[in-house]
């Protein structure tokens, strides 16, 4: 990844995050892996809607020192470093506080049912990591087990992170998460959610022939929301996701 492009993308995506209300004030942080030694990352104490290229820092992955830029690095940098260490395929990370997704994370809800086809095919289930004090080493620790297999994770009482093959990919996952969270909430308020059956989930998975499908049959009454059904579908989906990797 070209250094200038990484910086340009951070400035553009920061603006989008702010304009879409996915961060308030100086919240949130973004990073892009330039190569195995360097990442571009946002500084602390800056509104993501109002950044210039000169605000973005270049940091050495090994020493964790700023090698270009004058500002102080975001306090959530350890979370970004740990994601790049854990996932070789991670090229960009977005951390934001989208309102409805964060409200679900406050309410202790994880998005682990198969409800919307687009989500099943793109993000999959979205786990909820335990609460961790922001800016401390508790945060990387709390997400460690989830980021191995998930590109999007809710952070209890805090917000969400998304991982992408570039910054646009990570951003669109965050946008998709918030859109899904809104639909999830409204359908909950309407009083019922029809969970996709395992057959329906299998058919969806078969739409992507490059991802081999092996659906374990399970009998689910898709008309009623029931935790046993949720659990079974979650198991099926988890096994599909594991096979994918």
Closer to Zn ion at the Cβ: 115 or 143?
Answer: 143
Closer to Zn ion at the Cβ: 159 or 164?
Answer: 159
- The 10 Å Cβ neighbour count of residue 17 is 25
Residue nearest to Zn ion (CB): 159
Closer to Zn ion at the Cβ: 1 or 99?
Answer: 99
Closer to Zn ion at the Cβ: 132 or 167?
Answer: 132
Dump the DSSP string for 95-133: EE--HHHHHHHHHT--B-S---HHHHHHT--B-EEPP--
Instruction: Report the helix count and the strand count for the chain, using DSSP H and E.
Output: 8, 8
Task: Number of residues interacting with Zn ion: please give it, by CB under 5 A.
Answer: 1
Closer to Zn ion at the Cβ: 43 or 159?
Answer: 159
Alpha-carbon span 236 to 45, nearest angstrom: 43
Q: Residue 31: enclosing H or E segment and its boundaries?
A: strand 29-35
CB of 165 to Zn ion, least distance (A): 23
Closer to Zn ion at the Cβ: 3 or 20?
Answer: 20
Torsion of CA 225, 107, 144, 63, to 10 degrees: 150
CB of 162 to Zn ion, least distance (A): 13
According to the binding rule CB under 5 A, does residue 98 interact with Zn ion?
no
CB of 242 to Zn ion, least distance (A): 29
Distances (CA, A) of 41 to 27, 68, 160: 14, 11, 17
Alpha-carbon span 34 to 42, nearest angstrom: 14
CB of 157 to Zn ion, least distance (A): 10
Which residues inside 144-203 make contact with Zn ion, applying CB under 5 A? 159
Q: Name 124's Cβ contacts closer than 8 Å, sequence gap at least 6.
A: 150, 151, 237, 241
* Token pair belonging to 2: 């070209």
Which residues inside 3-42 make contact with Zn ion, applying CB under 5 A? none
CB of 48 to Zn ion, least distance (A): 11
Closer to Zn ion at the Cβ: 95 or 150?
Answer: 95
CB of 160 to Zn ion, least distance (A): 9
CB of 19 to Zn ion, least distance (A): 18
Task: Tell me which residues touch Zn ion (CB under 5 A).
Answer: 159
């Amino acid at each position: 990844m070209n250094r200038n492009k990484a910086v340009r993308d951070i400035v553009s995506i920061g603006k989008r995050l702010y304009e879409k209300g996915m961060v308030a004030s100086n919240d949130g942080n973004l990073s892009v892996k330039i190569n195995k030694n360097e990442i571009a990352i946002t500084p602390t104490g800056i509104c993501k809607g109002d950044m210039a290229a000169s605000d973005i820092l270049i940091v050495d992955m090994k020493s964790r020192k700023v090698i270009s830029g004058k500002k102080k690095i975001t306090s959530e940098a350890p979370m970004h470093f740990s994601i790049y260490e854990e996932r070789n395929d991670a090229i960009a990370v977005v951390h934001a506080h989208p309102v409805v997704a964060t409200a679900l994370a406050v309410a202790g809800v994880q998005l682990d049912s198969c409800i919307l086809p687009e989500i099943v095919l793109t993000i999959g289930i979205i786990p909820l990591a335990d609460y961790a004090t922001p800016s401390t080493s508790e945060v990387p620790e709390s997400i460690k087990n989830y980021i191995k297999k998930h590109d999007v994770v809710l952070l209890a009482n805090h917000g969400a992170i998304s991982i992408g093959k570039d910054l646009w990919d990570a951003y669109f996952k965050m946008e998709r998460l918030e859109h899904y969270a809104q639909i999830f909430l409204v359908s909950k308020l309407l009083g019922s959610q029809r969970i996709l059956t395992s057959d329906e989930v299998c058919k969806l998975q078969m739409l992507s022939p490059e991802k081999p499908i092996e659906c374990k049959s399970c009998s689910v009454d898709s008309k009623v929301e029931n935790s046993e059904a949720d659990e079974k579908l979650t198991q099926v989906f988890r096994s599909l996701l594991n096979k994918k990797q």
